[in-house]
Amino acid sequence: MAAWSCLVTGAGGFLGQKIVHLLAEEMELQEIRVMDIAFKPELLEEFSKLQSKVKVTVLEGNILDIQCVRQACQGTSAVIHTASIVDFNEKREDVIMNVNVKGTQHLLEACVQSNVPIFIYTSSLEVAGPNSYKEVVQNGHEEERRETIWTDPYPSSKKIAEKVVLAASGWTLKNGGTLYTCALRPMYIYGERSQYLLSDIKRALNNNGILDSFRQFSIVNPVYVGNVAWAHILALRALRDPKKAPNIQGQFYYISDDTPYQSYSDLNYNLSKEFGFSISAGISCPLFLLYWLAFLLEMASFLLSPIYRFHPPFTRHIVTLTNSVFTFSYEKASRDLGYKPLFSWEESRQKTMEWIGSLIKEHKTLKRKMH
């Protein structure tokens, strides 16, 4: 097999970092180009340690900069596109749409111009929903063709971008070759360095170790970050295989693992109970009331918009997302990509707990210094 190279966008992110580390183990890989708007010094140090295995080229740049994107793609064999803006407070609607949709289009066009034949897109479960907290979806699958109804910037931008990516499969490259694309839709991703988990734990640390119970009505199948990264590696291998690629191009895959089905609140509790954390025992508001309160807050935001920008603390989309029964099978990924979770639930839990332990230690040290 000839030497090859891969560009990873969003390489400074929670998932991107894991993908880069797993990529470094791939056969005949000559170069990994890591691209992000900025990298933390400690991450650059981590990446420099990989130089003994593979050449790591750091590219700081914006995917909205066409010139920068073209240079990043030049002479590359594949693109793994994880870069996107996730903002559930929807404070930057135009930025979210631009980065998530236009940025993806820029990358696809650059692949055509630079003859990059493989494009793997990190999509989102939110492309599929949930659309109603009353609807129960258990072990959903790709053939159901579910689609979000929400017009909030994040789910709608991911839905549009995924469609663009899948429609680009089969495009003719400048040199006459063919572009092969596919998309992966991970469940809610947890693991060390998760920004959501970080904010949940920090809130609990400032509240005597009591975790929020806002999301207790959900039943989901969260997925460990290492397993999502592994699915990207397997998709890359499959698209590089001339026999497998035709069956995979233009397809999307749900990515879950063997983490037990549970609510978001229970996941946080199961990852932190050994440190003495507990779930808030407060009286929970009935879901229908929460939903209509969100509606009223959205109406207030709309009516005030000509004179004042009011961002509701939560929306109907957030209430639905965090309180639905919404689980999916990884059977298709297993069949087509040969995907099997690389990390068991026990390993995933252990790795995440060790990280939570380090956060608690940091918090205690900071408290001591303040006193």
- For the segment 308-337, what is each residue's pLDDT rounded down to a tens digit? 988 898 899 999 999 999 999 999 999 999
Q: Which token pair is 51?
A: 């130089």
Domain count, the chain: 1
Residues 198-213, mean pLDDT to the nearest whole number: 92
Residues carrying an active site annotation: 154
Alpha helix (H) residue ranges in 179-256:
195-205, 225-240, 245-248
User: Per the domain annotation, does 92 fall within a domain?
Assistant: yes
Size (the chain), residues: 371
Name the burial class of residue 90, with classes exposed (0-12), middle (13-18) and buried (19+) by CB atoms within 10 angstroms of its CB: middle
pLDDT at 220: 97
| Whether residue 256 has pLDDT greater than 70 | yes
User: Per the domain annotation, does 275 fall within a domain?
Assistant: no
Contacts for 47 with CB less than 8 Å, ≥ 6 apart: 20, 34, 39, 56, 58
User: Per the domain annotation, does 270 fall within a domain?
Assistant: no
- For the segment 68-105, what is each residue's pLDDT rounded down to a tens digit? 999 999 999 999 999 999 875 555 788 899 999 999 99
- For the segment 123-170, what is each residue's pLDDT rounded down to a tens digit? 999 999 999 999 999 999 999 999 999 999 999 999 999 999 999 999
User: Per the domain annotation, does 142 fall within a domain?
Assistant: yes
| Whether residue 1 has pLDDT greater than 60 | no
pTM: 0.96
User: Per the domain annotation, does 111 fall within a domain?
Assistant: yes
| Whether residue 274 has pLDDT greater than 70 | yes
- For the segment 110-126, what is each residue's pLDDT rounded down to a tens digit? 999 999 999 999 999 99
| Whether residue 281 has pLDDT greater than 80 | no
| Domain assignment of residue 249, given as a range | 4-191+223-261+329-346
User: Per the domain annotation, does 289 fall within a domain?
Assistant: no
User: Per the domain annotation, does 209 fall within a domain?
Assistant: no
Among 59, 47, 58, which residue's Cα sits nearest to residue 23?
A: 47
User: Per the domain annotation, does 65 fall within a domain?
Assistant: yes
What percent of the chain clears pLDDT 70, i.e. is strictly above it?
98
> Rounded mean pLDDT of the chain?
94
- CATH number, domain of 251, equals 3.40.50.720
